[in-house]
């Protein structure tokens, strides 16, 4: 920060007097490590609803702006490109994209791995009904992040609908 005084006083006194200077602002905005990273997943409901939709940074593109998979045990995996420290995960479920709340993902786990083979499970959720969920973690790092869906909706509907998977360092 630089303060430049062009007129020190309203008189002929040329001295500048500053008794206190405060600067306000917010910390650097967190970066979504999963944004536009390579994503893979279980078979999509339609060709327009592939895994890449869950990391495109958008929930407002309507029905096709999501990852949808109708298979039992649906999964979504993102490659962060390198092992990264992770502080939280965020998920935008069906309702975040404008669909009925009954389609929000009910039960799931989030796993991380450095090599894509050995996984740890820092997040386990059962009974979710929210449109958006945030999952803070500590001491977690990994290159690969995997969402495993055990119960896709609040009803008997079998399709998983994830509008965004966000990962923050």
pLDDT in tens, 1-54: 677 777 777 777 778 777 777 777 667 889 999 999 999 999 999 999 999 999
pTM: 0.84
Beta bridge partners of 145: 78, 112
Query: 132-151 and 75-93: which strand pairing?
Result: antiparallel
Q: Which domain holds residue 49?
A: 39-168
8 lies in some domain: no
14 lies in some domain: no
Q: How far apart are CA 16 and CA 99, in angstroms?
A: 61
Phi, psi of 120 (to 5 degrees): -115, 160
126 lies in some domain: yes
pLDDT at 110: 99
pLDDT at 23: 73
- Tens digit of each residue's pLDDT (9 = 90 or more) over 101-130: 999 999 999 999 999 999 999 999 999 999
19 lies in some domain: no
48 lies in some domain: yes
Can you point out the beta strands (E) in the chain?
39-41, 67-69, 75-93, 107-113, 120-125, 132-151, 160-168
Q: What is the CATH number of the domain that holds 132?
A: 2.60.120.260
Radius of gyration, CA atoms only, the chain: 23
Q: How far apart are CA 74 and CA 68, in angstroms?
A: 9
* b/e code 42-60 from CB counts within 10 Å (16+ = b): bebbeeebbbbbbbbeebe
- Closest by CA to 132, choosing from 96, 107, 165, is 96
24 exposure class (CB count in 10 Å sphere: 0-12, 13-18, 19+): exposed
pLDDT at 1: 67
Placement of tokens 């062009």 in the chain: 6
Q: Number of structural domains, the chain?
A: 1
28 lies in some domain: no
22 lies in some domain: no
29 lies in some domain: no
């Amino acid at each position: 920060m630089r303060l430049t005084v062009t007129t020190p006083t309203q008189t002929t006194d040329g001295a500048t007097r500053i008794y206190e200077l405060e600067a306000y602002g917010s910390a650097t905005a967190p970066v979504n490590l999963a944004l536009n990273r390579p994503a893979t997943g279980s078979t999509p409901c339609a060709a327009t609803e592939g895994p890449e939709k869950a990391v495109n940074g958008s929930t407002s593109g309507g029905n096709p702006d999501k990852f949808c998979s109708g298979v039992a045990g649906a999964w979504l995996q993102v490659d962060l490109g390198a092992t990264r420290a992770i502080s939280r995960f965020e998920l935008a479920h069906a309702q975040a994209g404008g669909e009925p709340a009954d389609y929000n993902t009910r039960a799931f786990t989030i796993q991380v791995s450095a090599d894509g083979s050995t996984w740890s499970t820092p997040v386990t959720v059962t009974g979710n009904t929210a449109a958006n969920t945030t999952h803070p973690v500590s001491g977690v790092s990994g290159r690969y992040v995997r969402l495993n869906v055990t119960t896709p909706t609040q009803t008997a509907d079998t399709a998983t609908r994830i509008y965004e998977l966000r990962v923050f360092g």
